[in-house]
Amino acid sequence: MLSRVRNLLFKELTLELRRKSVISGLLLYLFSTAFICYLTFSLRQNQITPLVWSALFWITILFTVINTVAKSFIGEKKGRDIYYYSITSPEAIIISKVIYNFLLTLILSFTGFILFALLLKNPIIDLGLFSLVLALGAMGFSSSLTLLSGIAAKANNSHILMAVLSFPIIISVLLIVVKVTKNCIDGLDRSVSTNDLVTLLAINCLVTAASYLLFPYIWRN
Amino acid sequence: MKPWLKVLATLLLLYTIVAGFLFDVPRLNIVNETIRALYFHVPMWFGMVVLFLVSTVYSIQYLRGPSIEKDIYAVEFANTGLLLGLLGIVTGMIWANYTWGSPWHGDPKQNGAAISLLVYLAYFVLRGSVENEDQRARLSAVYNIFAFAAMIPLIFVIPRMTSSMHPGSGGNPGFNMYDLDSKMRMVFYPAVAGWILLGVWIASLRIRVRIIDEKIQNLENE
């Protein structure tokens, strides 16, 4: 099981590095969005209150991540399913996809943060806590969106469906993340955010377990 | 549904409406007579959660052993749950209009409620966009279970963690505090049973219609 997951993960990473167009496309997407934010506020940098910054940042990350994770199943060729079916188990596939999406989301979140800090400004006081929030948020996004991408890939007009299905599921993660980001901006003591972070971790575990249990049913056709 | 349950549902709801509007309620500032919303708004939410739970259970059963009937059960319970949820949100808005001053106040509970309804609307969009019947049933069952799991933190946990003006959360007293002589309980518990039974009744009627439709279609195909 573990070796299968490792092999599949390795395959995903190799594929990603081989066709660099996808990852560079996503980075460009991120850069364009951040740049639009910068241009919109160009001469009025002082009007970006911490709350505006947090809203812009999470909207950018959310849409980039939905696009990133959506391609994990929607982009797959039809016949390849059958090949995987013959060589490995669905559990290995979903776990490797979740881990892979987590790594990708993590990279994109940190790149997004650096871009926002460079182009706009950096209102975050507690950087350590914020990194933890980014990591937990990336975990939440990747675990809940991967299964939805699998569902959407089987249906018609999957790109629209992906956004529709994911919004209500992702919102509980998003609410907590936005709340803790505000705490990081205000530089509150870390003990204030502990409760929220534990809840976020619990939601992540719940969603990952649900994906693990449910994926075998949507995989087989 | 058994006939005596239907009689019981009718009687309970008649009692709820008569007693809910006429019986004595505690006098409280601001809330005043709107406390009667407790007999309608709260039981409707209970009914919604129960119906969604039943729908999820049928979805799980569908995945364990697929059959068209289980799929119909899951869909129709979700459908009726959505109806009760909409009624619950509307009655809540009427209540909020008199006590909070505006129908939509952006309270965490209200937002959570709206989002949980969105989940089930997305469920129906998903069903609409898959052509193959078998695949539609399976994908929507998976989404139903997944959505229910993701909804639990949304409507039960998060509103309790944030400040809310809703009675019973964010440090505000629930009705236990006002209802010192248990008079309200005499109406509240029958109301809960009545609204849940009504929901099950509506769902069972719709399920029968759907199953007959399915049979007619099978006969026509033969």
Q: Largest alpha-carbon pair distance within chain A?
A: 59
List the one residue out of A195, A173, A194, A193 whose CA is nearest residue A183. Answer: A193
From CA B139, how far away is CA B127, in angstroms rounded? 8
Exposed/middle/buried for B33, CB within 10 Å: 0-12, 13-18, 19+?
exposed
From CA A219, how far away is CA A73, in angstroms rounded? 10
B146:A171 CB<8 A: no
A94, amino acid identity: I
| Confidence class for position B166, pLDDT limits 50, 70, 90 | confident
Backbone angles phi, psi at B163, to 5 degrees: -75, 130
What pLDDT score was predicted for residue A138? 92
What pLDDT score was predicted for residue B174? 58
From CA A219, how far away is CA A81, in angstroms rounded? 8
Domain count, chain B: 1
> Which tokens in the block code for residue A212?
């693990």
| Confidence class for position B172, pLDDT limits 50, 70, 90 | low
Q: Say if B32 falls within a structural domain.
A: no
pLDDT, one tens digit per residue, over B70-100 is 899 999 999 999 999 899 888 888 888 887 7
**CA distance, residue A9 to nearest chain B CA (Å):** 24
**CA distance, residue B21 to nearest chain A CA (Å):** 36
First to last CA, chain B: 31
Instruction: Flag whether pLDDT at B29 surpasses 70.
Output: no
> Which tokens in the block code for residue A1?
């099981």
Q: How many residues does this entry show for chain B?
A: 222
Whether B206 and B79 have beta carbons less than 8 Å apart is answered as: yes
| Confidence class for position B65, pLDDT limits 50, 70, 90 | confident
Region of poorest pLDDT, from A49-63, B5-19, B20-34, B75-89? B20-34
Average pLDDT along chain B: 82
What pLDDT score was predicted for residue A32? 92
Q: Say if B43 falls within a structural domain.
A: yes
Concatenated DSSP letters of A79-118: HHHHHHHHHS-HHHHHHHHHHHHHHHHHHHHHHHHHHHHH
> Which tokens in the block code for residue B9?
């549902």
Whether B42 and B194 have beta carbons less than 8 Å apart is answered as: no
Task: Please tell me which residue, A78 or A7, carries the higher pLDDT value.
Answer: A7
Where is B207: in which H helix or E strand? Answer: helix B183-221
B169, amino acid identity: S
b/e sequence B73-110, b meaning 16+ C-beta within 10 Å: bbbbbbbbbbbbbebbbebbbebbeeebeeeebebbbb
Instruction: Flag whether pLDDT at B54 surpasses 90.
Output: yes
| Confidence class for position A182, pLDDT limits 50, 70, 90 | confident
DSSP 8-state class, residue B153: I
Whether B136 and B144 have beta carbons less than 8 Å apart is answered as: no
From CA A37, how far away is CA A44, in angstroms rounded? 11
From CA A184, how far away is CA A124, in angstroms rounded? 6
Residue B138: which of A199, A210, A218 has the nearest Cβ?
A: A218
The average pLDDT across B130-147 equals: 87
In A195-214, the residues whose Cβ lies within 8 Å of chain B are: 195-196, 199, 202-203, 206-207, 210-211, 214
pLDDT, one tens digit per residue, over B112-136 is 788 888 888 889 988 888 888 888 8
B125:A154 CB<8 A: no
Whether B97 and B110 have beta carbons less than 8 Å apart is answered as: no
What pLDDT score was predicted for residue A50? 80
From CA B17, how far away is CA B48, in angstroms rounded? 19
Q: Say if B30 falls within a structural domain.
A: no
Whether A40 and A156 have beta carbons less than 8 Å apart is answered as: no
B139:A206 CB<8 A: no
DSSP 8-state class, residue A136: H
A151:B158 CB<8 A: no
What pLDDT score was predicted for residue A174? 86
pLDDT, one tens digit per residue, over B173-216 is 555 555 556 677 777 888 888 889 999 999 999 999 999 998 99
**pTM summary value:** 0.83
Share of chain A above pLDDT 70, in %: 97
From CA A98, how far away is CA A116, in angstroms rounded? 26
pLDDT, one tens digit per residue, over B96-113 is 888 777 878 777 778 778
Q: Say if B130 falls within a structural domain.
A: yes
Q: Say if B48 falls within a structural domain.
A: yes
b/e sequence A13-45, b meaning 16+ C-beta within 10 Å: eeeeeeeeeeeeebbebbeebbeebbeebeeee
Q: Which chain A residues are closer than 8 Å to B139 by Cβ?
A: 151, 154-155, 218
Q: Say if B115 falls within a structural domain.
A: yes
Concatenated DSSP letters of A37-52: HHHHTTT-GGG--HHH
| Confidence class for position A159, pLDDT limits 50, 70, 90 | confident
Counted across chains A and B, CB pairs separated by less than 8 A come out at: 86
Instruction: Flag whether pLDDT at B1 surpasses 80.
Output: no
The average pLDDT across A44-50 equals: 77
Q: Say if B62 falls within a structural domain.
A: yes
B122:A176 CB<8 A: no
> Which tokens in the block code for residue B22?
């006429």
| Confidence class for position B60, pLDDT limits 50, 70, 90 | very high
Instruction: Flag whether pLDDT at B22 surpasses 70.
Output: yes
Whether B35 and B25 have beta carbons less than 8 Å apart is answered as: yes
Q: What range does the domain containing B212 cover?
A: 3-25+37-221
Q: Say if B56 falls within a structural domain.
A: yes
Instruction: Flag whether pLDDT at B156 surpasses 80.
Output: no
Task: Please tell me which residue, B34 or A37, carries the higher pLDDT value.
Answer: A37
Q: Which chain A residues are closer than 8 Å to B116 by Cβ?
A: 168
